[in-house]
Amino acid sequence: QVQVVESGGGSVQSGGSLRLSCVASGRTYSPNAMAWFRQAPGKEREAVAAIDKVAGNNFYADSVKGRFTLSYDNTKSSVYLQMNSLKPADTAMYYCAVAWGIATLNPASADQYNYWGQGTQVTVSS
């Protein structure tokens, strides 16, 4: 059974940092892609950062470029999101998404992923 478990959310002041972790388990082979999405109250879910291992591409939303860094541990099927210079606009529920056994043409699109975590809350106060 596939499990996707996120951790690392919390509350910080503007300008602070957080590191989110996501561990995927349940398959004997690595995912094709992993990503972080976020959803703020009253807003649509949006892609924050993604890594497509097959294509060798990384994706970052324009709003986080230069502040967030995605890293991937192939041995653990894990992805990490280092978030620096956090802003109140970054406040949202952050979800880890995994594309396991399926091809991903657009790693920034939510429908490319077949497994999701429960989410971890990030709150940034001004």
pLDDT in tens, 48-94: 999 998 888 889 999 999 999 999 998 889 999 999 999 999 999 99
Output 40-49 pairs: Cβ under 8 A, ≥24 positions apart: 40/91, 40/92, 40/93, 43/92, 45/95, 45/110, 47/107, 47/108, 47/109, 47/110, 48/81, 48/94, 49/81
pLDDT at residue 123 in the model: 98
pLDDT at residue 116 in the model: 97
For residues 78, 83, 89, 92, the Cα torsion angle rounded to the nearest 10 degrees is 30
pLDDT at residue 76 in the model: 83
Q: What is the DSSP letter of 29?
A: S
SS3 66: coil
**What average pLDDT does range 110-117 have in this prediction?**
95
**What average pLDDT does range 110-123 have in this prediction?**
96
pLDDT at residue 75 in the model: 83
The model's pLDDT over 4-29, given as tens digits with 9 standing for 90+, comes to 999 999 999 999 999 999 999 999 88
pLDDT at 33 > cutoff 90: yes
